[in-house]
Amino acid sequence: MPSKERRIARWEHEQVVEEVQRRLDSDPDAMRRRRETVEHPFGTIKTWMGATHFLMKRLRNVAAEMALHVLANNLTRVMNIVGNRA
């Protein structure tokens, strides 16, 4: 015989997930814009610079390693845009 009590479990951060989903539903092109602007540099860093995984451990070291990859990517972009005038 089934119990008369029912329990509903809800994840602590479920409200955040629902808010993100509402934002995406209100602006369906948001993910397309994100792919065009944000995902491309990460793909470039992984593919062209060979950064498929981090070599360091600990958050501080990984953050520094990532900062160097981003700096190298930005310098490469600047050189491609400005050109090599030297």
Rounded mean pLDDT of 19-39?
Answer: 87
Question: For position 22, what pLDDT does the model report?
Answer: 93
| Closest alpha carbon to 76 in 49, 47, 37 | 49
Question: For position 86, what pLDDT does the model report?
Answer: 56
Whether the per-residue pLDDT at 60 is higher than 70: the answer is: yes
- Return the domain boundaries, the chain: 14-82
Q: For the stretch 58-83, what's the b/e string if a residue is b when 16 or more beta carbons lie within 10 angstroms of its beta carbon?
A: eeeeeeeeeeebeeebeeeeeeeeee
Whether the per-residue pLDDT at 83 is higher than 90: the answer is: no
| Closest alpha carbon to 49 in 26, 71, 73, 29 | 73
Give the predicted TM-score (pTM) of the model: 0.57
Question: Could you tell me what percent of the chain has a pLDDT over 70?
Answer: 95
Question: For position 17, what pLDDT does the model report?
Answer: 93
Q: What is the pLDDT of residues 9-20, one digit of tens each?
A: 888 999 999 999
Whether the per-residue pLDDT at 41 is higher than 80: the answer is: yes
